[in-house]
Amino acid sequence: MKNETRSAEANVVSSEKLLSHWQEHRRLTRKVLLAFPEDKFFTYSVGGMRPMAELAMEIIGMSMPGVYGLATGQWEVPDRPEVNFSMKPPATRAEVLKLWDETTEVINKVWPQITAERFNQTDKAFGMYEGPVHWHQFYFVDNEIHHRAQAYVYLRSLGIEPPTFWDRF
Amino acid sequence: MKNETRSAEANVVSSEKLLSHWQEHRRLTRKVLLAFPEDKFFTYSVGGMRPMAELAMEIIGMSMPGVYGLATGQWEVPDRPEVNFSMKPPATRAEVLKLWDETTEVINKVWPQITAERFNQTDKAFGMYEGPVHWHQFYFVDNEIHHRAQAYVYLRSLGIEPPTFWDRF
């Protein structure tokens, strides 16, 4: 920070807060995964969109390699190239949840390796999308909120009350 | 920043970047408002959820007073208490868009008044929700993404292709 009074250029949000914000949303999304009846989790759709299981796999397949990418510039999980955002769902929701919880742990483990400087470096996420590292991290969270909200409509149209949006704890 | 090497505690994202991220999402949401046929904008719903016009009013009614609140701790638009998140939609989409565009300008105008220190102060947003100011700002964006994604399902179920999620420009 060169000048405390120029708030536009000052960094104002910490890495720790960004991690917390991400994990808050992941906790809410996990509740949404559990709100579906098991069969609907894999099959139910509105407007021809993907069912919850496939959306969950996209989120897992973006977040787990994504946090490595944020930290290192290598947009993959070491020794597990199959974890990517076109991953197909496993056979049961329990297996999806296992991958979900593993992702949560990987994010917590890898996150502290993202240096303060790294957040404002430019990188090509997954070799495809160029932008600042913090922007990619925001994208992961935004994308999760976006797909989870689809699932809210699926649940409502099934007559199921979804978890409240602010219940991230 | 007490210590550059402790990235967890270092602030890593600037106020300017947070504003840009918010306005990028607002641009995409504006495109979604325009993607609806005018009658469906006011009436169409899935699963008993609110139609797009009411969601747009919630976003306007949260964002316009919200940016004043972020800056000043007064969670209302000066001399316009009617702009709040239970605002009813006006009669035409053109009027909703006018309020939308006014909100965009108000955000740009008021934002620079948010000091760097303010982002980490605790406040009670709208007199109701206690948390750090940056957290409230994230909430406004998250809430907009959430409701806009409902609208994506509405559009798909109407057979209309929504704007792509990354098209925020």
Running DSSP on this structure, what letter comes out for residue A160? -
Hey, is A122 helix, strand or coil? strand
| Alpha carbons A35 and A38: distance in angstroms, whole number | 9
Q: Say whether pLDDT at A67 is over 90.
A: yes
Is B73 part of any domain? yes
- Give the burial class of A60: count Cβ atoms within 10 A of its Cβ; 0-12 exposed, 13-18 middle, 19 or more buried: buried
| Alpha carbons B69 and B131: distance in angstroms, whole number | 13
- CB-based contact B13 A134, cutoff 8 Å: yes
At B100, give phi and psi (nearest 5°): -60, -50
Distance from CA of A118 to the nearest CA of B (A): 9
Is A165 part of any domain? no
Q: What pLDDT is recorded for position A169?
A: 81
Distance from CA of B12 to the nearest CA of A (A): 5
Give B14's strand partners.
A11
Q: Work out the percent of chain A whose per-residue pLDDT is above 70.
A: 95
Q: pTM value?
A: 0.95
The answer to whether A13 and B18 have CB atoms below 8 angstroms apart is yes
The answer to whether A91 and A48 have CB atoms below 8 angstroms apart is no
Q: What pLDDT is recorded for position A166?
A: 84
Number of domains within chain B: 1
List the pLDDT tens digit at each of the 169 positions of chain B: 333 444 557 899 999 999 999 999 999 999 999 999 999 999 999 999 999 999 999 999 999 999 999 999 999 999 999 999 889 999 999 999 999 999 999 999 999 999 999 999 999 999 999 999 999 999 999 999 999 999 999 999 999 999 998 888 8
Distances (CA, A) of B166 to A92, A116, A134, A139, B27: 31, 26, 15, 9, 11
| Alpha carbons B145 and B151: distance in angstroms, whole number | 10
Distance from CA of B82 to the nearest CA of A (A): 24
Is A2 part of any domain? no
Residues of B within 8 A of A155 (CB-CB) are 47
From B47, B48, B149, residue closest to A149, measured CB to CB: B149
- CB-based contact A119 B48, cutoff 8 Å: no
Give B11's strand partners.
A14
ipTM value, please give it. 0.94
Give the number of A-B residue pairs with CB atoms closer than 8 Å.
147
Is A73 part of any domain? yes
The answer to whether A84 and A72 have CB atoms below 8 angstroms apart is no
Q: Say whether pLDDT at A46 is over 60.
A: yes
Residues in chain B: 169
Which tokens go with A60?
């897992």
Q: What is the CATH number of the domain that holds B145?
A: 1.20.120.450
Distance from CA of A45 to the nearest CA of B (A): 10
Q: What is the 3-state secondary structure (H, E, C) of chain B?
A: CCCCCCCCCCEEEEHHHHHHHHHHHHHHHHHHHHHCCHHHHHHCCCCCCCCHHHHHHHHHHHHHHHHHHHHHCCCCCCCCCCCCCCCCCCCCHHHHHHHHHHHHHHHHHHHHHCCCHHHHCEEEECCCEEEEHHHHHHHHHHHHHHHHHHHHHHHHHCCCCCCCCCCCC
- CB-based contact B46 A143, cutoff 8 Å: no
- CB-based contact A153 B49, cutoff 8 Å: yes
Domain of B94, in residue numbers: 20-157
Is B1 part of any domain? no
* Closest by CA position to A135, among listed B13, B127, B117: B13
Count of alpha carbons within 13 angstroms of residue B69, beta-carbon side: 28
Is A15 part of any domain? no
* Closest by CA position to B151, among listed B142, B140, B139, B163: B163
Q: What pLDDT is recorded for position B5?
A: 42
Distances (CA, A) of B151 to A141, B6, B35, B63, B126: 19, 41, 10, 18, 25
Residues of B within 8 A of A112 (CB-CB) are 7-8
Give A130's strand partners.
A124
Q: What pLDDT is recorded for position A168?
A: 84
- CB-based contact A49 B11, cutoff 8 Å: no
Q: How open is the CA angle A73-A77-A81, to the nearest 5 degrees?
A: 110
Is A7 part of any domain? no
Give A124's strand partners.
A130
Q: Is the dihedral of CA B153, B105, B62, B97 positive or negative?
A: negative
Is A118 part of any domain? yes
Which tokens go with B143?
């809430």
